[in-house]
Structure 1
Amino acid sequence: MTTAMTTRPLVFLALPQEGAARLATQFLLAIAGTLLLTLSAKTKVMLGPVDISMQTLAVLLIAAAFGMRLGLATLLLYIAEGTMGFPVFQGTPEKGIGIAYMLGSTGGYLVGFVVMAAIVGWAADRGWDRHPMKLFNAMLVAEVVMMAMGFAWLALLIGPEKSWQFGVVPFIVGDLIKVALAASVVPAVWSLLKRS
């Protein structure tokens, strides 16, 4: 097995090697990824005073399993669906749809998801998805970048102090748990595949 083959992300095990079948499979995986993102956005867990969605976990798992290119394509497709007015985001349609919703308080986090997918996908493309600590570190960096982008956008809307208090602090523990979970699951799948 070549080094290039051993550093490809999980999804490459299921992809046809070339041609139209490969493109069709990638397209179907991207669609499935957007469905998972939508479902995760609507799934909430109460942790303290706020509802926490499972979306960060879904972004991390998709990026680690799909790699950078397909992971990015999936997140961009998801953002495009939301831009077109499909109710794919956490607060849609209750709090608006399309561009109007995206320019609201969650806009920075949504763009941050795309950057998060790029960072984690980049790490997976280099084989970090086989090592829990390497993957955890990459996911933690991605999490910090995503939260910083969300904080910065929210700070423009409501000020830095409120943005920190309501847009970052309540989510720290939950997001660290999701990072640890995602960083454990993907290497565990690789370990199972090696044994079979």
Structure 2
Amino acid sequence: MATEITARPLVELTLPENRAMRLVTQAFLAVAGTVFLAMSAKTKVVLGPVDMSLQTLAVFLLAAAYGSRLAVATVLLYLAEGAFGLPIFQSTPEKGIGLAYMLGTTGGYLAGFVAMAAIVGYAADRGWDRSFFKMLGAVLVAEVVMTAMGFAWLAYLIGAEKAWQFGVVPFIVPDLIKVLLAAAIAPAAWSLLPKHR
């Protein structure tokens, strides 16, 4: 029974027992999560000719905290907001809004966020977010899946060679840094709550 109590995502500690209040809290967390994702998309770190957003790190952290169901629901809500025309993605509105933007060069990566949330959230549901190495494995798999999805869509639009050159290579090192950060932050958060370990 002890495993069932501890193997749950961090957000479970804040959810009320009452079913109605639990749903209201989850809805609030989902909306707050979309704001967090939008802010991370607009936060850019300039690395030479490449602008890196903090969005993949935000998805990792959200999934680790929320668990798979709430994290996937939050990312889907975020994508729905973007599809309806809210300028919440990295290069909106300057590169278009809504579905026009989502079907552009970043479309595969945006879809990959859902897969990332599911994989990292699944790991958090099983308590892997308490261990750096287990979390590192989950986050690394999620990163590879998201990159593969982004590359596949970009290759369809501009060809495999250009997709690799512009859509993968410049982001390998920055994304590995974000993978390491996410793998370290999740267990660190749990270490601040020793009574729940």
Q: Aligning the two structures, in what range does the TM-score lie when normalised by the shorter sequence? A: over 0.9
The equivalences for 1:75-114 within 5 A come to: 75-114=75-114
The equivalences for 1:10-159 within 5 A come to: 10-159=10-159
Cα offset, 1:17, TM superposition: 1.5
SS where residue 51 of structure 1 aligns?
A: strand
Cα offset, 1:48, TM superposition: 3.2
Q: Are residues 168 and 57 of structure 1, via their aligned partners in 2, closer, same or farther at CA, if it must alter by over 3 Å? A: same
SS where residue 67 of structure 2 aligns?
A: helix
Cα offset, 1:195, TM superposition: 6.0
Give me the whole-angstrom Cα distance separating, in 2, the residues matched to 1:131 and 1:101: 37
Is the contact made by 1:49 and 1:170 (CA closer than 8 Å) also made in structure 2? no
Give me the whole-angstrom Cα distance separating, in 2, the residues matched to 1:36 and 1:165: 29
Runs ≥4 in structure 1, deviation > 2 angstroms? none
Is the contact made by 1:30 and 1:74 (CA closer than 8 Å) also made in structure 2? yes
Q: Deviations over 1:120-151 (max 9, x none)?
A: 00010011000001001100000000000000
Which moved further from structure 2: 51-60 or 15-24?
A: 15-24
Is the contact made by 1:60 and 1:139 (CA closer than 8 Å) also made in structure 2? yes
Q: What TM-score do you get using the length of structure 1 for normalisation?
A: 0.98
Give me the whole-angstrom Cα distance separating, in 2, the residues matched to 1:195 and 1:24: 27
In structure 1, runs of 5+ residues without a counterpart are none
Structure 2 counterpart of 1:100, one-letter code = A
Cα offset, 1:2, TM superposition: 3.1
User: What's the C-alpha RMSD, in Å, of the aligned pairs?
Assistant: 1.1
In structure 2, runs of 5+ residues without a counterpart are none
SS where residue 193 of structure 2 aligns?
A: helix
Q: Deviations over 1:72-109 (max 9, x none)?
A: 00000000000111111111111101111001000000
Give me the whole-angstrom Cα distance separating, in 2, the residues matched to 1:48 and 1:12: 40
Cα offset, 1:18, TM superposition: 2.8
Give me the whole-angstrom Cα distance separating, in 2, the residues matched to 1:38 and 1:187: 25
Give me the whole-angstrom Cα distance separating, in 2, the residues matched to 1:188 and 1:195: 14
Cα offset, 1:110, TM superposition: 0.2
SS where residue 46 of structure 1 aligns?
A: strand
Which moved further from structure 2: 11-20 or 146-155?
A: 11-20
Q: Deviations over 1:34-79 (max 9, x none)?
A: 0000000000001232000000000000000000000000000000
Give me the whole-angstrom Cα distance separating, in 2, the residues matched to 1:52 and 1:9: 28
Give me the whole-angstrom Cα distance separating, in 1, the residues matched to 2:106 and 2:51: 14
Cα offset, 1:19, TM superposition: 1.5
SS where residue 88 of structure 1 aligns?
A: coil
Q: Does 1:173 align with 2:173?
A: yes
Q: What TM-score do you get using the length of structure 2 for normalisation?
A: 0.97
Aligned length: 196
Structure 1 counterpart of 2:188, one-letter code = A
Give me the whole-angstrom Cα distance separating, in 2, the residues matched to 1:70 and 1:28: 11
